[in-house]
Structure 1
Amino acid sequence: MSQPAADGPATDPEDPGHPVAAAARTATVSALDAVVTGCRACPRLVEWREATARTKRRAYLDWDYWGRPIPGFGPPDAPLVLVGLAPAAHGGNRTGRIFTGDPSGDLLYATLHALGLANRAESVRHGDGLRLHGVRITDPVRCAPPDNKPTTAERDTCRPWITRELELLRPTVRTVVALGGFAWQALLPAVAAAGWRVPRPRPVFGHGARVALPAADGGPPLELYGCYHVSPRNTNTGRLSTVMLRELLREAARSAGLDPLPERPVAGGEP
């Protein structure tokens, strides 16, 4: 695992390490993934993620926590992109991979596997052999925030990363799924900056919401879906079931030109 950087924060947009400048310099998705892990633009998030990596959770005392920003995960030519909120303090912040090592990721990757969009149903750690097929997963905020609640300023400071990611994915991306209202709100200005037109008034989030965003340059449009977040708060209360998640992701995959598998049980059964 990588270790937290020792240098100070890059809070000035003119600083070459700030997301505004650093994201703009990247020419490929893989380059973006490498550069984002060194970001130190939000002092509160830097302090929190690194303190969490030092103190750890009792169950993970033998882990060498990642403790850095999390890059996106999945092929750089994916037609389908799933967007969450931010890494979990003892999930992605521990394992170094988005939606890995926490209950939200357990459900998400099991569902993708059931649809034939992942080669395995479990996501344990970076380098465990998990591969996604035609799907990329990313977050609008790349560092674990206290109480899983980034501030508006932190969300906006982090925006250049996901905007550049969408720009680099434009040749292939056709569908984006916002996992939760935070992702939906964070995505709208990002997709607009990346080259698609967002209608006014802005579309409203909801599970199953769908809006077509035309490209500003006449290129392929982008289909934006809303989906309740895969957090235990939603799944334990029944607000989001595995059936709801699977059916929405199946529809989104088809809209992206993928060929998801037909009905088959999700690992762990149906709630």
Structure 2
Amino acid sequence: MDETHSRPVVPGAVEPVGSAAGATTLAELDEAVTRCSACPRLVSWRERVAVEKRAAFREQSYWGRPVPGFGPADASLALVGLAPAAHGANRTGRMFTGDRSGEVLYRALFDVGLASAPNSESADDGLRLYGTRITAPVRCAPPANKPTPAERDTCSPWLARELELLRPTLRVVVVLGGYGWQALLPVLAAAGWEVPRPKPRFGHGARVGLGDAGGGELLLLGCYHVSQQNTFTGRLTPEMLRAVLTEARDTAGLGPVG
């Protein structure tokens, strides 16, 4: 295979500030996200991975671009992770798809009736989410799975606008891991949600209710991240994950679906 053909092409590259605010629908926002080139280190890494690839995927064309959120525009439940995995979402183009973390997450979503299938292999595999949207504070795969604070802050307008567009229906946010928790709280505060002071601490099973001036209510639920470090060691078990997702599902008014 000619490796030059697997390099990502990002026509009309954009920056988060301005581009995010200008999106009037989630479809517009998602399209703009895929053209972001704001962080040179992340751009270089995601494109390098897309060319060098992992041996198991050497015959595949990598996505190699920023990854938009996944799920319906009228979702009442959102899941917030960390960032795309280099050989997962950076390869497939869909959040938590094509890696071990995704295997655990989508299995649990299916088990509680929030996904149409128990596994997610590619962006065109037909899997659907019911009333649920998956997103992240950082949209490009970072080296060693560690974005810098500056990269997180540069990327934050995408998440802020996504939550604004979801606001009419959004009732619950499950935050996967402490990084997502710390990244999300300032975004919610800037969007008008009343975040308690001192800021609530992350923990598995953490439960925080937020309100806003318009009388809206939003429940934040903390859950250990579905990383292999947590799932392989038993820090996060399938039962623990299903329990959080079930509470989120029921609070969001979704009930068992499918």
Long gaps (5+) in structure 1 = 11-16, 262-271
Task: Specify the code of the residue in structure 2 equivalent to 1:165.
Answer: E
3-state secondary structure, aligned to 1:46: helix
1:3 Cα offset (Å): 2.6
3-state secondary structure, aligned to 2:205: coil
1:2 Cα offset (Å): 8.9
> CA separation in 2, counterparts of 1:219 and 1:40?
37
1:194 Cα offset (Å): 2.1
Whether the 8 Å CA contact 2:7–2:50 is kept in 1: the answer is no
Q: Match of 1:234?
A: 230
> CA separation in 2, counterparts of 1:168 and 1:195?
13
3-state secondary structure, aligned to 1:214: strand
1:6 Cα offset (Å): 6.9
Task: Specify the code of the residue in structure 1 equivalent to 2:194.
Answer: R
CA deviation vs aligned residue, 1:148-200 (integer Å, no higher than 9, x gap)? 00000000000000000000000000000110000000000111122211111
3-state secondary structure, aligned to 2:20: helix
> CA separation in 1, counterparts of 2:136 and 2:191?
15
Task: Specify the code of the residue in structure 2 equivalent to 1:223.
Answer: L
Q: Match of 1:26?
A: 23
Structure 1 residue 40 and structure 2 residue 37: aligned?
yes
Whether the 8 Å CA contact 1:4–1:50 is kept in 2: the answer is no
Q: How does 1:197-212 map to 2 (within 5 A)?
A: 197-212=194-209
Long gaps (5+) in structure 2 = 1-5
Q: Match of 1:264?
A: none
Q: How does 1:1-80 map to 2 (within 5 A)?
A: 3-5=8-10, 17-80=14-77
Q: How does 1:134-213 map to 2 (within 5 A)?
A: 134-213=131-210
What RMSD in Å do the two structures reach over aligned CA positions?
Answer: 1.4
> CA separation in 2, counterparts of 1:46 and 1:3?
10
> CA separation in 2, counterparts of 1:195 and 1:168?
13
Q: Of 219, 223, 229, which aligns to 2:219?
A: 223
> CA separation in 1, counterparts of 2:11 and 2:120?
29
Task: Specify the code of the residue in structure 2 equivalent to 1:196.
Answer: W
TM-score (normalizing by structure 2): 0.95
Q: Match of 1:268?
A: none
CA deviation vs aligned residue, 1:17-43 (integer Å, no higher than 9, x gap)? 220111010001111011100000000
Q: Match of 1:256?
A: 252
Q: How does 1:92-131 map to 2 (within 5 A)?
A: 92-131=89-128
Whether the 8 Å CA contact 2:11–2:35 is kept in 1: the answer is no
> CA separation in 2, counterparts of 1:6 and 1:222?
37
> CA separation in 1, counterparts of 2:215 and 2:20?
23
Q: Structure 1 pair 28/219, CA: closer, same or farther in 2 (3 Å)? A: farther
1:224 Cα offset (Å): 0.5
Structure 1 residue 246 and structure 2 residue 242: aligned?
yes
> CA separation in 1, counterparts of 2:190 and 2:7?
31
Task: Specify the code of the residue in structure 1 equivalent to 2:110.
Answer: H
Question: Taking every aligned residue pair, what percent have the same amino acid on both sides?
Answer: 63
3-state secondary structure, aligned to 2:18: helix
